[in-house]
Amino acid sequence: MYLDCYRLFRCLPVRCFQFVGTNYRRLSTPRAEYNTLCPDPCSHQERELAISEMLDVEAWGEAVFRDVREDAPDLQVMEKLAAGRGWLVRSVSTDRAYAIDTRGRFEDYLANLGRNTRLKLFNRRKLLADGGSIELQNAWPNRVDEFFELLNRFHRQRWGGDCFNGHSLRFHKQFLRQVGEEGGAPDLSLLTCNGQVISVLYNVCYKGNVYNLQSGYIEDFHRKIALGTLHLGYSIESAFRNPGVYGFDMLAGTGKNDNYKVRLATLSVGLQSIMLVRSPLLKALYRLKDRLTSG
């Protein structure tokens, strides 16, 4: 946790307590999900004491906790503490994260998908192979710069801007090095056709789970092939085939045109971002704001 001090509307001083790696109002940071204040295993009493002590350390006016699992006991503890101390509790945002349990057979997983989803994820491989020699390569650790250049290029074509700027790129490269040092396995997946990279997936395997962080691909490669979904299919199959992997996590967020993750997932969990407000002035302002926005 850290304390971010700034002036709201350039006049009102705010002291915001929040997770390291997140920023509620001032900075754009890489998204961090499944955040927690007290790591498991931890008894309820230990959790309540740890969170209480943490919130008593800093002289904050508001505290923002981003992307906490809705079933996390941290939320209940914070709501109880807030009720007892007269703090305001506000919902900042809600989202849903999607994952696939890969401990079964890949063939059974495919069989349970809808026909159109199975076509996009797996069956179009034959059509792709008809177009040339298909290969999967891992750009880690020798082609990292090339990988991120391709990811940014594909994002510019699809979204109109880079996926990661210079500061973000430095963060992600350092993150990948640290993950490797801590026993994780970066998989900067390149899907190539006749030697040309047509799709990239930014995956990281850590403690038995593969996390899909980003993706990018050539938009108009083939009108019958959804390259992003097809590439995901290769990575999902690899997770199923690996006995040391139990899950493939697609995290929160949706696609540009639809929520493709809901059709691929076998598991999902809600994420909540909440704010605790201790400052009397901020409590009054937020109550007024909430009253006005609710009509």
Chain segment 236-247, per-residue pLDDT in tens: 999 999 999 999
103-245 CATH choice from 3.90.1300.10, 3.40.630.30, 3.40.50.10860, 3.90.380.10: 3.40.630.30
Range 43-55 average pLDDT: 90
pLDDT digits (tens, 9 = 90+) for 72-82: 999 999 999 99
CA distances from residue 17 to 24, 34, 39 in whole angstroms, order as listed = 10, 18, 18
pLDDT tens per residue across span 214-226: 999 999 899 999 9
Contact 169, 148 (CB under 8 A): yes
166-181 and 144-159 helices, crossing angle to 10°: 130
Nearest Cα neighbor of 292 from 35, 75, 284 is 284
- Give pLDDT tens digits for 99-158: 999 999 999 999 999 999 999 999 999 999 999 999 999 999 999 999 999 999 999 999
pLDDT in tens, 258-278: 889 999 999 999 999 999 999
pLDDT surpasses 90 at 85: yes
Across the chain, what does the average pLDDT equal? 92
Q: What percent of the chain lies above the pLDDT cut of 90?
A: 73
Query: CA–CA separation, 179 vs 170, rounded Å?
Result: 14
User: Which among 98, 97, 108, 106 has a CA at the least distance from the CA of 238?
Assistant: 106
Where along the chain do the CATH 3.40.630.30 domains lie? 103-245
pLDDT for residue 19 is more than 70: yes
User: Which pLDDT value is given to residue 295?
Assistant: 65
